[in-house]
Structure 1
Amino acid sequence: MTYLSFPRQHARTQRFTLGAPRAFAVAPDGTRVAFVRSRSGTSREQVLWVLDLPGGTERVAADPAEVLGGAGEELSAAEKARRERSREGSAGIVGFAVDEAVRTAVFALSGRLFTANLAAAPGEGTGGAGSAEGAGEPAAAAGSAPAAGAAGVRELPVPGPVVDPRLSPDGRWVAYACGGALRLVPAGGVGGAGGDRALAEPERPEVAYGVAEFVAAEEMGRSRGFWWAPDSSALLVARVDEAPVQQWWISEPAHPDRAPVQVRYPAAGTPNAEVTLALFDLAGGRTEVEWDRARFPYLAAVHWSAAGPALLLVQSRDQRIQQYLAVDRHSGTTSVLAVEEDQKWLDLFAGSPALTPSGELVRITDEAGARVLKVGEKTLTGPELHLRAVLDAGGDEVLVAASAGEAAAAAEIGEVHVYRVGAAGPVRVSAEPGVHTAVRSGELTVLTSSALDRPGPLTRVLRGAEEAARIGTYTETPSLTARVHLLTAGEHRVPTAVLLPTGWTEADGKLPVLLDPYGGPHGQRVYAAHNPHLVSQWFADQGFAVVVADGRGTPGRSPAWEKAVAGDFAGVSVADQVEVLHALAGSHPLDLNRVAIRGWSYGGYLAALAALRRPDVFHAAVVGAPVTDLRLYDTHYMERYLGDPTVQPAVYEANSLVGDAGLVQAVEPARPMMVIHGLADDNVLVAHSLRLSTALLAAGRPHEVLPLSGVTHMTPQEQVAENLLLLQVDFLKRALAGRPRG
């Protein structure tokens, strides 16, 4: 067996995520769970599986290699963009949708449309031929055929490339986006007048139906653009008009023969896409949905279940006020169910809003300084919990994910648990310390758990409170073990992880320090789980004391903690890293004469800030894909924290990096930086790093620039991901080599 270095293993396994089961769909009758999982810890190709209950037997429902007959997968530009927004680096069946009974799945592969019979036993045959018409399975019909070599899988011959196909709840129809249109096809592939047709078509090239605009997919957590009515008789469809959005161009300098790619990017202070909604019946009838779009232009979330009308969550552009709306499906008018306001901003949460079976509104909101769960007018949790997501609202109790509240945060550092919340309050579902999430339907709950003392996830299927089965994982075992010490540090009790070289003893003395944060909104790094700390441990094993600190602005602590960065990314984020560093120096072997910092995205921004603004503390920085000129980042993110740059330009200037490069430090010399950026990044454009480098050069400041040809904001390419780690270590050792030891 060929030995792989940790950097190569980490890259080849996509951070040890390949081979782990995910994207669970649970049958409400408790007979099966569908999910995707690659066949090994190094295979990128995701396969659709089914776990049959009560026996707990796993079987393949759709294998991309068989479905495509061994042909390679081809991705459309639209599908590549969807995967970039969701940070999806694997291949094959990366996502699927099901009918209400979870008897049939639908998915896109190479831009083609397929259905898979989830209820069939192995060897039962293809599709749903001979099944009852109302059973929710696609019936065999003219115009559809089994995919070669894939029993139970059927291709529907439709125009492509297909994006985001979704089954109607009754399983009879498939809606999908294609070329700006929303199209509809019978799940059985019936040809003729009842066959594939456009339900909504774009009036001009800048318009698209049934897809999420950039800021919705990148910042709001809304990747969808259409939703089925619970009775399968209509769809709620978003229309996105990008004409107002400014045009930018992304080129590939390594390939001068290729034309630049045009992108519509809504930078802070510039126009957004115009988003509207309409109700379409299956015959093509259209009813516009009405709300005060001038006041609430952001469509943040949509929920439509059998418990009641469609719900909308809409936000003002400054995100300080939002409304929960109910849609009248006959007239398209909306009524206000709840209003929320905040002087800083309002956050969005997965699974919120929703409706209970009795029709009560379920939402996560900030109340009396805590992040709580509300059902109707009742507040069901208090400051003992910090709510993270609504996982399911379909039972007698709401299933949620939550961290410990502020008072107990130090006792459960980095932990996230699953709770059932009813009238009597929360009851914890996950028992062991760690990070947990869940999917539930009927009496089945799929609980996925990670812990500090073991690599990889453990996935259990619970029937009620009892374990009914386990879903296997094929993830590779890492070639090193993360030895993590979790604690809180400094005056602000910052959640922190410290990692020392394997085998270090006190006789080895003090170590050069590497801070390894993300340090900003939506980016928790300090988790009570093993695998998130593997890269930090590898850096530690290269001879560093590695410190990972989740300062103010990061999630999981309290609303006040997250909102402490309002208007002041730069000051708060850097101050908390310095505070943690100095607080640990008395109890850990930290050589404060040799301190470096590394990070990616917000972490890259923070690393550059630290080196430029506190050269008395930080002596080198690895700056990955940083946002340097904050006016070049998108509206929904940047305006939430810093306001409108056309109204508050001074705030943007105070928090941006490009003006810092010319600062003259009277005592400390300029600190060396390695600046890394993917040239194909359409989220944080390479312009950020180029502007920083230009300013550094003009100021005579030492730095290295590592441009990554063909790389986006992710770095899924194996050799690139491996060598990035090796080059960073080489730079850090060179940068700190001349420093006197403390």
Structure 2
Amino acid sequence: MKNFRVVFLLFIAVSGQLLAQDKQITLEEIWGGAFRTQGMDALRSLNNGKQYAVLNFDRASRTTSVDKYYYETLEKTGTIVNSEDIAEIQYFLSYEFSDDESKMLLATELNPVFRHSTLGTFYVYDVASKKVTKVSDDLIQEPTFSPDGKKVAYVFENNIYVKSLQDGSVQQVTTDGEDNHIINGVTDWVYEEEFAFVKAFEWNKDSDRIAFLRFDESEVPEFSMDVYGTALYPTQDVFKYPKAGEKNSDVTLHVYNLDTEKVSPLPIDIDYEYIPRIEFSNESSILAVQVLNRHQNDLNLYFYNVDSKEANVVLHETDDAYVDINDNLTFLDDNSFIWTSEKDGYNHIYHYDKTGKLKKQVTSGNWEVTGYYGYNPKEKRIYYQSVENGSIDRDVYSIKLNGKSKKHLSSQEGTNRATFSADFSYFINSFSSATIAPKYTLNSAKDGKELKVIVANDEAKEKLESYNVAMKEFSTIEINGNELNMWMIKPADFDPNKKYPLFLYQYSGPGSQSVANSWYSSNDYWYFMLAQQGYIVACVDGRGTGFKGAAFKKVTQKELGKYEVEDQIEVAKTLGERNYIDEDRIGIWGWSFGGFMSSNCILKGNDVFSMAIAVAPVTSWRFYDSIYTERYMTTPQENASGYDDNSPINFVDQLEGKFLLVHGTGDDNVHVQNSMRMIEALVQANKQFDWAIYPDKNHGIYGGNTRLHLYTKLTNFIKENL
């Protein structure tokens, strides 16, 4: 009897192990959030440098709090604000401190305008008195404390307002704001999307001036989208959208004097097209203004005295292709400044004096600075992230302002991202790799030593391992004379003597990266699921992608889609020569730029690819916006062949394999016009294909069951055609 019990228990254990090994990932799990990891939401260092704040949401009570913790012990030391204690607020979605941390802006309602912009209801919370003040009864944009914390500036219906937090009075700064005509203080659609900012006004240090951009978009062509909704009749969304070669907004610079209540123009004495950044320096009257030509390859940095109206060019940077815009400009106490640039062929950190004279190139080498974290004036030390240890990894470093005494602060191979304390004594390192789930640790900023683990996410790795999947394998592959980064996911029971269908993913957009040593996204779990079902999934970053130097990234200039497509076709051919790849069953897919690429690949590589999926693709660069497209292609008037020779809509007659085209009708970024015109071209070429349209869904195609439905369709298409 005893021996029977031992055998029975052994049978149960072995059976359980076999069941675990056969466990299949499902789409319902992926899009139901089963593989989500824990993070630290809205992490901010407090001014004392000893504590940090985190946004916490209690799902049971549906209340929000901002709690503070000591860096040294990681212990919670108190709650700064809890919506449970505020009668006017059930919960809030975000928070911002005033400079002295005596007040907070709490957002209680946020409605999207475009991809990055929102309209919301905001309250000012006084930390000491616990009193709340509604900023406005209207839905407003971009409320921002003045540096002295006595006022809040915001935008309502394209006009700028300033509310006094002392007496509640409101000053209206501009009066000419009008929908689809004049915008003050926030950006138009194309600036928001392509220069990545919404708030187009800035306070000066003394809180008595506001500099702002004014957009006159009256001559910009309009784009309209039908909104089907649930009512009997659909509505229409009409907005200004400059396509490549078309009229942009006329953007001008202005300053408002809060004492005189007058707006004055700040004229710029050169021909320009864009003002992609404005920022006040440490001198209250000096405004830094970045000015760019239409080709985006000639940038001037002005220091503008808003009182005397005198402007001096302190830095002039040009490039044969384009000059990247970023948020790394940092002013030191003496008004010298830190700047990042690709001018030596790689993105590096530079230090200039306040007149624009170069003092020092702080970092150098055949590698890229990928993140700038800040400057510690006490130690005269800069903190940054780079790819010094390989382009698929990210590491954290510090270096003296004079370029000496560099320290490697991260220790694990993978993707490290740092959030530093205000006094740069600590940093919280967010780390992950393809074998280690996201891990948050407290580290010393002096030497990088790990002090404590805050969040480990060990269960995420254990959960994935319970499905018996093979992790990503990283390697390089020689394609068209270049060593390209690649990852590959094989079935867990991979047999090199068998032949497997190959499914390629890529994005391939300028400066992008899809092959990175980091933990897995929802798409990666989908790839694991496909591998469980007998597919090999791979991804290769070809020419034009990022973090290998400017020459590698900018080789595609004026020919978007030429070299990138050549590389993906050659990748498929090269991998198809491997004994375990079935060269007759190679597919490719992508989203947005990746959808443009997969469309081109199934057409121009019709002898290589047997199927392709394109989600929300650009099908002709003539349909896409001015800033993005012209940055890489100049205008269609100047470069017609570059546009037309690389746009899939012009090559539909070459379709031989199976093709699935997917788009959302509410996509304000890559308009559904791209797919509709592609569909018509395919129909007139008498080419059979599959397509799916998601009503009112934007570029992300999500909401409710949408993602589950979409990926079910994609999966079924792969299984039927690859």
Q: TM-score, normalised by structure 2?
A: 0.85
**Aligned residue runs from structure 1 range 487-498, under 5 A:** 487-490=475-478, 491-498=481-488
Residue 610 to residue 474, structure 1, CA distance change in 2 (3 Å): same
User: SS of 1:598's equivalent?
Assistant: strand
Q: Does the Cα contact within 8 Å between 1:311 and 1:353 map onto a contact in 2?
A: no
2:674 and 2:599 mapped to 1: Cα distance?
A: 12
1:324 and 1:14 mapped to 2: Cα distance?
A: 48
**Aligned residue runs from structure 1 range 311-350, under 5 A:** 311-349=288-326
Mapped pair 1:417 → 2:395: yes
User: SS of 1:605's equivalent?
Assistant: helix
Q: Does the Cα contact within 8 Å between 1:307 and 1:358 map onto a contact in 2?
A: no
CA deviation digits over 1:70-107, x for unaligned, max 9?
Answer: 87x9xxxxxxxxxxxxxxxxxx52x4432223443213
Which residue matches 2:331? 355
CA deviation digits over 1:554-589, x for unaligned, max 9?
Answer: 111110111011122222111111233344445573
Which residue matches 1:515? 504
2:459 and 2:219 mapped to 1: Cα distance?
A: 47
Q: Does the Cα contact within 8 Å between 2:441 and 2:450 map onto a contact in 1?
A: no
Query: Per-residue deviation at 1:448?
Result: 2.1
Structure 2, unaligned runs of 5 or more: 1-22, 110-119, 353-357
1:6 and 1:577 mapped to 2: Cα distance?
A: 29
Query: Per-residue deviation at 1:182?
Result: 1.4
Which residue matches 2:114? none
1:157 and 1:35 mapped to 2: Cα distance?
A: 23
CA deviation digits over 1:368-414, x for unaligned, max 9?
Answer: 3222211111111112431223222353222222223xxxxxx6241
Q: Does the Cα contact within 8 Å between 2:441 and 2:451 map onto a contact in 1?
A: no
Q: Does the Cα contact within 8 Å between 2:439 and 2:453 map onto a contact in 1?
A: no
Which stretch has the larger CA shift, 29-38 or 726-735?
Answer: 29-38
Which stretch has the larger CA shift, 209-218 or 598-607?
Answer: 209-218
Which stretch has the larger CA shift, 624-633 or 51-60?
Answer: 51-60
Residue 13 to residue 38, structure 1, CA distance change in 2 (3 Å): farther
Which residue matches 1:484? 472
2:266 and 2:451 mapped to 1: Cα distance?
A: 44
Which residue matches 2:15? none
Q: Does the Cα contact within 8 Å between 1:494 and 1:580 map onto a contact in 2?
A: no
2:704 and 2:313 mapped to 1: Cα distance?
A: 50
User: SS of 2:460's equivalent?
Assistant: coil
**Aligned residue runs from structure 1 range 74-113, under 5 A:** 93=93, 95-110=94-109, 111-113=120-122
Could you tell me which amino acid in structure 2 is paired with residue 608 of structure 1? S
Query: Per-residue deviation at 1:686?
Result: 0.5
Mapped pair 1:392 → 2:368: no
2:346 and 2:307 mapped to 1: Cα distance?
A: 38
Residue 244 to residue 354, structure 1, CA distance change in 2 (3 Å): farther
Q: Does the Cα contact within 8 Å between 1:114 and 1:153 map onto a contact in 2?
A: no
Query: Per-residue deviation at 1:442?
Result: 1.8
**Aligned residue runs from structure 1 range 642-657, under 5 A:** 642-657=633-648
Mapped pair 1:228 → 2:203: yes
Which residue matches 1:201? 175
RMSD: 2.9
Residue 107 to residue 588, structure 1, CA distance change in 2 (3 Å): farther
User: SS of 2:107's equivalent?
Assistant: strand
Could you tell me which amino acid in structure 1 is paired with residue 176 of structure 2? P
Which residue matches 2:567? 576
Which stretch has the larger CA shift, 670-679 or 46-55?
Answer: 46-55
Query: Per-residue deviation at 1:445?
Result: 3.0
Residue 169 to residue 472, structure 1, CA distance change in 2 (3 Å): farther
Of 428, 446, 449 in structure 2, the residue corresponding to residue 446 of structure 1 is: 428
Which residue matches 2:386? 402
User: SS of 1:106's equivalent?
Assistant: strand
2:255 and 2:24 mapped to 1: Cα distance?
A: 54
Of 48, 51, 58 in structure 1, the residue corresponding to residue 69 of structure 2 is: 51
User: SS of 1:725's equivalent?
Assistant: helix
CA deviation digits over 1:216-255, x for unaligned, max 9?
Answer: 2211122321112123222222222221211111103465
Could you tell me which amino acid in structure 2 is paired with residue 525 of structure 1? S
Query: Per-residue deviation at 1:484?
Result: 0.9
Mapped pair 1:601 → 2:592: yes
Could you tell me which amino acid in structure 1 is paired with residue 473 of structure 2? H
Of 255, 272, 276 in structure 2, the residue corresponding to residue 279 of structure 1 is: 255
1:722 and 1:316 mapped to 2: Cα distance?
A: 44
Query: Per-residue deviation at 1:260?
Result: 0.7
Which residue matches 1:26? 45
Which residue matches 1:431? 411
Which residue matches 2:688? 702
Q: Does the Cα contact within 8 Å between 2:162 and 2:171 map onto a contact in 1?
A: yes
Q: Does the Cα contact within 8 Å between 1:461 and 1:471 map onto a contact in 2?
A: no
Q: Does the Cα contact within 8 Å between 2:157 and 2:178 map onto a contact in 1?
A: no
Q: Does the Cα contact within 8 Å between 1:20 and 1:475 map onto a contact in 2?
A: no
Of 288, 293, 302 in structure 1, the residue corresponding to residue 265 of structure 2 is: 288
Of 143, 157, 161 in structure 2, the residue corresponding to residue 179 of structure 1 is: 157
Which stretch has the larger CA shift, 456-465 or 277-286?
Answer: 456-465
Which residue matches 2:531? 540
CA deviation digits over 1:189-220, x for unaligned, max 9?
Answer: x33xxx23322333544212221222222111
User: SS of 2:347's equivalent?
Assistant: strand
Number of aligned residue pairs: 663
Query: Per-residue deviation at 1:464?
Result: 4.0
Query: Per-residue deviation at 1:43?
Result: 12
User: SS of 1:568's equivalent?
Assistant: coil
Structure 1, unaligned runs of 5 or more: 74-91, 118-126, 130-151, 405-410, 664-668, 737-742
Of 728, 735, 738 in structure 1, the residue corresponding to residue 714 of structure 2 is: 728
**Aligned residue runs from structure 1 range 60-209, under 5 A:** 61-62=80-81, 93=93, 95-110=94-109, 111-116=120-125, 127-129=127-129, 152=130, 154-187=132-165, 190-191=167-168, 195-205=169-179, 206-209=181-184
Which stretch has the larger CA shift, 197-206 or 622-631?
Answer: 197-206
CA deviation digits over 1:488-529, x for unaligned, max 9?
Answer: 11131111111112333335x121000011111243111110
Q: TM-score, normalised by structure 1?
A: 0.83
Mapped pair 1:506 → 2:496: yes
Residue 262 to residue 43, structure 1, CA distance change in 2 (3 Å): farther
Residue 312 to residue 542, structure 1, CA distance change in 2 (3 Å): farther
CA deviation digits over 1:322-347, x for unaligned, max 9?
Answer: 01111213123321111111111112
Q: Does the Cα contact within 8 Å between 1:510 and 1:591 map onto a contact in 2?
A: yes
Which stretch has the larger CA shift, 614-623 or 31-40?
Answer: 31-40
Residue 706 to residue 112, structure 1, CA distance change in 2 (3 Å): same
Which residue matches 1:458? 440
Mapped pair 1:714 → 2:709: no
Which residue matches 2:13? none
Which residue matches 1:526? 515
CA deviation digits over 1:688-717, x for unaligned, max 9?
Answer: 011111111111212111111121011332
1:552 and 1:543 mapped to 2: Cα distance?
A: 29
Which residue matches 2:276? 300
Residue 343 to residue 616, structure 1, CA distance change in 2 (3 Å): same
Q: Does the Cα contact within 8 Å between 1:39 and 1:46 map onto a contact in 2?
A: yes
2:64 and 2:652 mapped to 1: Cα distance?
A: 45
Q: Does the Cα contact within 8 Å between 1:291 and 1:333 map onto a contact in 2?
A: no
User: SS of 1:100's equivalent?
Assistant: coil
Which residue matches 1:149? none
Which stretch has the larger CA shift, 427-436 or 550-559?
Answer: 427-436
